[in-house]
Each structure stands twice: as structure tokens, then as C-alpha cells.
Amino acid sequence: MAKFEEDHPDIEVEVTRIMGDAHYNPQNQKLMCAIAGGDPPEVVLQDRFTIGSWAARGAFRSLNDFIEEDWKAGNPQAVTAGHYYEACWKEAVYEGKVYAVPTSTDSRVMYYHKDLLESAAGNPEWKLFDENGNPRPPLTWEEMKSHNRFFVRRDERGALEQVGYLPDQGNCYLYMYGFQNGGHFMNMEENRCTLNDPKIVEALEYMCDIYADYSPEGDDRIAGRKQAARFSQAFQGGVNQPFLEGQLAFWVDTEGFMSIISRYKPNLNFGVIPVPHPADREPVTWSGGWSLVIPKGVPDDKARLAWSFIRWMTSPEANLLMTRYQRDYNRSKGRLSVPSMSANRIANEAALNNIILTDPDLGPAFKDGILTAFSLLPVSKFRPVTPVGQILWDKQYYAVDQASFGNATPKEILDRYTQDVNAEIERMEHSPPPIDTTKPWSVLAIMVVLFLVYIVWSIKKQSSLGQVSRQEALWGYVFLSPWLIGFIVFMAGPILASVFLSFTQYDVLHTPRWVGLDNYRHLLGLDVVVNSWFPWKWEWNASDPLFWKSVWNTIYMLLAVPLMMILGLAIALLLQQEVRMMATYRTLFYLPAIVPFVASAVLWLFVLRPEGGLLNEVIEGLFPIKGPDWLAGQETAKPAIILMMLWGSGATMIIWLAGLKGISPHYYESAILDGAGFFRKLFNITLPLLSPYILYNLIMGTIGVLQIFTQAMVMTYGGPADATTFYAYYLFNNAFFWFRMGIASAMAWILLIATLILTLIQLRSSQGWVYYEGEEE
């Protein structure tokens, strides 16, 4: 960029970085708002596989006119499709138009730990050797399935401490195995999802079969998956990365993983091979990467400047400069340099021959690994360029969890997810016409006028009380107006907009389309089929099964409300004693309630580790049993989060303490004279007099749990196998990952109505058990 600014002294490049991770990147939400607001950045570094979904929504500007102009002008830096790897270029093209210029790419390969390979080959049943008689890693699916078991090591308790390969770890996903087996995830001609392609079903079966080696008997893939989940829950990054630590013999990742090896363990004895593939097929990989785009709404003059920047940043000259800078920077830190790969084939080859292979600091293992990754780029696959790319990605990701945990067979899972993706495609294809926005704005204007008329009428009504009263009323509205305007604009306005949007199909970037009650039908649609009356057998089919799963998960979490209330009250009863340092104890119990959630989440991830976690170490030290799976298990993930929520009971403790302080000691003195013990005083005096506080904590706790979100977002990402996909988390995904704002708005109103009903039930029932001191009978 410094070189670009040097060549263009009238231009200043300002870089804004938006941090995220593989599960959540806030860039998409911010970019969507910027485009919708008409003030987008001139250039965006965009994940290339999302180009199709954004281009389909008209979010990016086509670059064809700029490319053609450069060719006609004979610009030596003109962007040329033939200079890019086929997978990279095609991923940036949607419906025949170029919407992005690829910048970087990657190549997925398998890393193997040579020391662990030597150890496993000591088994007399090992059969994989090269022509020189040296042990070699598995090269095919069949070899991996037959030899993976030789890498399994357990401790004295039977827990895994070393494994061969974990298909759900690394940077691979179902896409890799489906591509390897010749599967197609989309039929682009018919624009239909084919996630249930028999070749992809076979690929998912292979992934599930690998887990069988990790079960105690070595033949149960569901039990093996659970064991592997316990094991992988303790994985970390950086210097403690499991492959570097020798916990894994095989690791699938991009060539960029060599940067991690070079930084944290440069002397690691490793090798690189193509990811094992079916024996009757050739090795392939799939490539992702980034690209530069110009959002819709950028003025033409700035768009031309943006194009000149893109053209320079994707040129071979710029790539060589960046590669040299990366090498020199790493050398200044005393580290090896493994540069990232360019999507430009010419730039890539120049960097490889002039910088990487001639670097004396890079050892043979690194150079051989880089060459292996480079050799696969010409046969690399890419994810389908489709408007439903994000949903398809999520479904292939979830399918591995669902199938490997045994929730259904791979075919059943893929059939269901194929229907889900195709339903979204059909929804896009049969969208109703855009709404005439003058109508809702007219209704809003009428409501505002009626409100103003009401205010004028209220002021005039005061005239019967005299001039002074009318002026007081007028000034009352004047002083109230800042709050009133703020309420209408920032509260009432969004609420009314949400009501309206819940009856529409809306993606933020386009005019809403009226669909009536379809969003509610989609969410609440539920068919119950009775297969047999005697014996009773039934099944239910939902339009959106994940919606009902999220409802059940959230209802389950309501168990946390009484538990938190009981624990908070118990702590308050202990801390109401008048002893020395009691204020300090109260502070210590209250501190967890004010610790930032992300910090407490990181702490509890360590505490709740199935293997080596603090809680299980205590349990296994006291009892001759194996500790629960906690966040790694479907059955224990929600109880684990409830346990974590109990840690914050100090917030309710403060309320209980306030209530206890308000109870007159005369009640207890009289009870003691009557011979009452602790429990009689608790149930006959304390709890009845605390009933208003019980009602308050019950209502607020219920409302809080119904909105539970952060735990799933930070700790589990809704897993394992949707076990922690809570209602608010699913709502968030609909709104900000899949841009289904209409469905998200409908979910918000369903949640509001459910919350109101529960609150009214609680208030209604309180008439029979809440006692207010001083209230007349």
C-alpha cells in the first residue's frame, strides 16, 4: 500500500480492520449496514466464497467494465482471467459477471507427524511402507480406515491421550471429502442443492467410520465420536496446538499451517501429503481465499480510484513486494517465513522461484510441503457460487456433527438439509413483487399526524381550566418532547418496523416483499402424525425443525431460574450474619456477576474440559467414575451452561440480602419463643415475607433465560449437534448470517408474546402466594 500511495501522491489509503473468527465475523453485518445506509467503503477485502450470495443481492459492483477498459487501453497491469487459478477466478464470478478480483488462495493438505508414524509402524500389523522399506502415511481412505487404529493411545483411565486423525478438526470439512469422491453439492444448471448426492453420502459415512477407532471396543463410531469430542475439547492453539504437541498424528489444513509450525516448533519432524482420497480417484484439494470488491453505492469517481488500487494490489509486482516484506519481517523477529499463496498464478510462481525456494532458512520439510500444496492448485475445487452459499456451508458443517453423534444416518441428515437449502432457493425464486414503500410510509405519517392532533387537542382541552393551565400543559409537552422524540425514533419506530417486517421477505439491501403470514407458518408449522393408537406411536414433522429445537433448548434452560434463586438465597442467608469481614465475603460472592462474560467464558472452558478440566479432576479424584462430557456432549452441554450460570448467582444474592434486611427481627424472636427451628422459621416467616422478591427474581430470571444468547455465541456456537442452539442464537443467525430479516422479526415477536404470556401467568398466580406487608386482607 505504501508503494501505491507513493505512485499516487494524491490518494491516501485508510485501512479499517474488523476482527472476527471462523464462526463469527462482524464484517458482514457492518458492511450490510454501510451499503444499506449509502455510505460503504470504497474497497472491501471479502471472503471469496460469499461473493455469490452478496452479488445476488446486488451488494457489489460488477467489475467487467473496468477490466474491458484496461484491455482496450493496453494497460500492462490489466486483470486477466488466464493469470489466475481456475478455482479462484470462477469463485469470483456470478452469472457471467466478475464481481471480485482474487487476492489470496490456499491449498488443503495433510500434515503427518513422522515420529508418531515411526512409533505406529512398530506394530507388526502395520503394512504401509515405501519402496525403500520406510513406513509411509496412509494415502487413501481405505488405508486410513485400516491403519488409523495404530495411532490410538490411552491413559490408565482409558481416556484418549493420542489419536491418528479427527475429521472434524483442522480446515477440511465435508466439502473436501465430497469433492474427493466426485460429489456435487449444487446442480448449477437447475439451481438446486444436491447435498444428498450419493457420493457425498459415502464421504460422510467415511468421516463417521474414522471415529470407530476411538471407542473402547474400537468398532462403535458413535461412542468413538463422543470419546473424540471429550479429547478435542482440551485442544488449544498456538504453541499448544494438538499436532505440535503430538496429540494428533494427522492434521488437515492449508499451507498456512506451516507458518504456525515455523513459529512455534520449527524443528518438528513432519511431512506433507495430499489429503487421503478414494483409492480409485486422483488427489484433489479445495481452495478458499480472499478477494477485493467494490460495494454498490460507491460514486463513479471513487470507484475508478478503487479499481486502480485493486489492480495494483493483485498484480505480481505487489505480491512480490508483500512476500519479501513478510520474509524480512519474520527474519527480524528471528522466525522462519512461509509466505501466503496468491490467487494469481504468475505472482505465485514468481514468489515460489525467486523467494521461497531460494530461502536458505527454510528446511526441506517446509519446501517439500509448499511444493505439495502448490502442485494441487491446478486441480483444486471451489465451493459453489450461489446465493445460498452461507446456508449450504452451514448445513454441510452441521451434517458432520449430526451424523457422527448418531442423531440420524448420514443419508437422512443430508436429505433433510438438502430440502432446507432447496426450500430457501425456491423462496428466492418465487419472491413476491417489492412492496410499494409509499404505503407504509403513508400509514406512519398518518399515525404521526394523529398523534400531533391528539397533543393539540389535549392542550386545547386545558383551556377550560384557564390560560395558566393551558400554558403549563404546553410547556409540559415542550419539556417532554426530547424524550418523546427519542422514544418515537429509537423505540417505537423500530418496534413498528419489526412488526411490519415480520410479514415480509427482507434482506436489508432490497425493498421488502410482502408474504403475509408465511414467516409465521414457516416457523410454527408442525404436523403430528399418529402411526398407531395401540400401542401409541406418533411422529411430528416441522417446517423448521431447528426452530423447535431452539425452543426446546431454551425451555430446558428455564431450569436455571429456580436453581439460581435457591443458590442466591442460600448465599444471602449465610451472608446476613453479623460477623467480621462480612462485607468482604459479600463482595467476593458478588464479583462473578460483574466479571466480563468473555473472560468468564474462557475460564469456564478450562474448568469444564472433560479431560484435565478442574471440575472433572475433582470429581474423578473423589469418586471412582469418569467425569461428564460437559460442553462436549449433547446430553451434558445444557447442564454445563446452567452450572456456569449458577456462578453468577451473586447478582440475585444482593436482592435477597435487601429483602432479608427488611424483615423485622421480632418475627424470629417470637418464633424462637415458640420453639421454632431453622426450617420452620425459613418456611413460615422468611419465604412468605420474601415472596415479593421471589416474584421479582422469578420474572426477571425467566425473561433473562428466554433471551440466553452469549453462552452459545462465545462457547459452543450452538453445538454439539445443535444441543445449545438457543432461541435468541437461532434468531441472530437468521438475521445476520442468512439475512432473513423477515423470519428474524417474526421470531422476535413470537418471543415477545411468549414472554408476555409467561409473565402474565406469573403475575396472575402471584395473587395466591405473594404477601405484601401492610396490605389489607
Q: Which of 66-70, 147-151, 574-578 has the lowest mean pLDDT?
A: 574-578
Angle, CA 648 vertex, CA 644 and CA 654 arms, to 5°: 160
Q: Average pLDDT in the 366-393 region?
A: 95
Do residues 302 and 444 share a domain? no
Banded pLDDT at 518 (limits 50, 70, 90): very high
CA distance 723 to 553: 7
3-state DSSP of 319-386? HHHHHHHHHHHHHHCCCCCCCCEECEHHHHHHHHHHHHCCCCCCCHHHHHHHHHHHHHHHHEECCCCC
> pLDDT value at position 224?
96
Q: Residue 364 — very low, low, confident or very high, per pLDDT cuts 50/70/90?
A: very high
- Reported as a pLDDT band with limits 50, 70 and 90, residue 462 is low
| pLDDT of 27 above 80 | no
- 449 in Cβ contact with 438 (< 8 Å): no
Whether 294 and 223 map to the same domain: the answer is: no
Asked, for residue 434, whether it belongs to a domain, the answer is: no
The string of pLDDT tens digits covering residues 621-643 is 898 888 999 999 999 999 999 99
Please tell me whether residue 630 adopts helix, strand or coil conformation: helix
Rounded Cα distance, 272 and 249, in Å: 12
Do residues 649 and 750 share a domain?
A: yes
Rounded CA separation 224/238 (Å): 27
**Residue 19 pLDDT > 70, yes or no?**
no
Same domain, 89 and 225: no
- Answer yes or no: do 278 and 293 share one domain: no
pLDDT at 413 (0 to 100): 97
DSSP code of residue 211:
G
Helix axes 741-765, 493-501, angle to 10 degrees: 110
Of 256, 286, 316, the residue at which a domain comes to its end is: 286
Q: What is the mean pLDDT of residues 709-727?
A: 91
Residue 119 lies in a domain: yes
Summarised one tens digit per residue, pLDDT across range 499-513 is: 999 999 998 888 899
Task: Assess whether pLDDT exceeds 80 at residue 539.
Answer: no
Q: What is the pLDDT of residues 722-743, one digit of tens each?
A: 999 999 999 999 998 888 999 9
Residue 26 has pLDDT above 80, yes or no: no
- Domain match, 39 and 173 both: no
Residue 364 in any domain: the answer is yes
Does one domain contain both 119 and 223?
Answer: yes
Q: C-alpha grid cell for residue 26?
A: 462482524
**Residue 574 covered by a domain:** yes
Look at residues 502, 530, 553 and tell me which one is the last residue of a structural domain: 502
**Are both 136 and 217 inside the same structural domain?**
yes
463 inside domain: yes
CA 583 to chain centre: 41
How far apart CA 523 and CA 646 sit, in angstroms, is 32
More confident site: 777 or 245: 245
Q: How confident is the model at residue 408 (pLDDT cuts 50, 70, 90)?
A: very high
Over residues 163-174, mean pLDDT: 94
**Top-confidence residue, 335 or 113:** 113
Question: Kind and range of the H or E element at 448?
Answer: helix 438-461
**Residue 729 in contact with residue 709, Cβ under 8 Å?**
yes
Using a 10 angstrom Cβ sphere, with 0-12 exposed, 13-18 middle and 19 or more buried, the burial of residue 767 is: exposed
Per DSSP (E only), the strands in 525-575 are: 526-532, 537-542
For the cut 80, the answer to whether the pLDDT of residue 256 exceeds it is yes
Q: Which residue has the higher pLDDT, 455 or 294?
A: 294
- Inform me whether the pLDDT recorded for 192 exceeds 70: yes
Taking the C-alpha atoms of residue 206 and residue 200, their distance in angstroms, rounded to an integer, is 10
Together in a domain, 51 and 126? no
Task: Tell me the pTM.
Answer: 0.88
Those residues with Cβ within 8 angstroms of residue 505's Cβ, 6 or more apart along the chain or in another chain: 427, 431, 432, 512, 513, 515, 518, 519, 742
Q: Which residues pair with 291 in a beta bridge?
A: 46, 102
Measured CA to CA, the distance from residue 211 to residue 149 in angstroms comes to 10
Number of domains the chain is built from: 4
Q: What is the largest CA-CA distance in the chain?
A: 109
Average pLDDT over residues 206-232: 95
Report which of residues 582 and 199 the model is more confident about.
199
What's the rounded Cα separation, in Å, for the pair 110 and 165?
A: 10
* 607 domain-assigned: yes
Between 470 and 701, name the one with better pLDDT: 701
The percentage of residues in the chain with a pLDDT greater than 70, rounded to a whole number, is: 95
Range of the domain at 349: 2-106+288-378
pLDDT score recorded for residue 765 = 93
CB atoms within 10 A of CB 174: 26
Show the cell assigned to 133.
522399506
- Cell numbers given for 118: 515411526
Which region among 185-189, 223-227, 241-245, 455-459 has the lowest average model confidence (pLDDT)?
A: 455-459
Does residue 396 form part of some domain?
Answer: no
> Is residue 404 domain-resident?
no
Give the CATH number for residue 694.
Answer: 1.10.3720.10
pLDDT one-digit tens code per residue, 636-669: 999 999 999 999 888 899 999 999 998 998 999 9
Same domain, 601 and 738: yes
| 503, 742 Cβ separation under 8 angstroms | yes
Q: Are residues 497 and 619 both part of a single domain? A: no
Whether 18 shows a pLDDT value over 80: the answer reads no
CB atoms near residue 44 (< 10 Å) = 23
Same domain flag for 490 and 610: no
Domain end position, chosen among 286, 320, 336 = 286
pLDDT at 463 (0 to 100): 60
The answer on pLDDT for 8 being more than 90 is no
Question: 538 falls in which pLDDT band (50, 70, 90)?
Answer: low
Assess whether pLDDT exceeds 70 at residue 464.
Answer: no
- The CATH number for 237's domain is 3.40.190.10
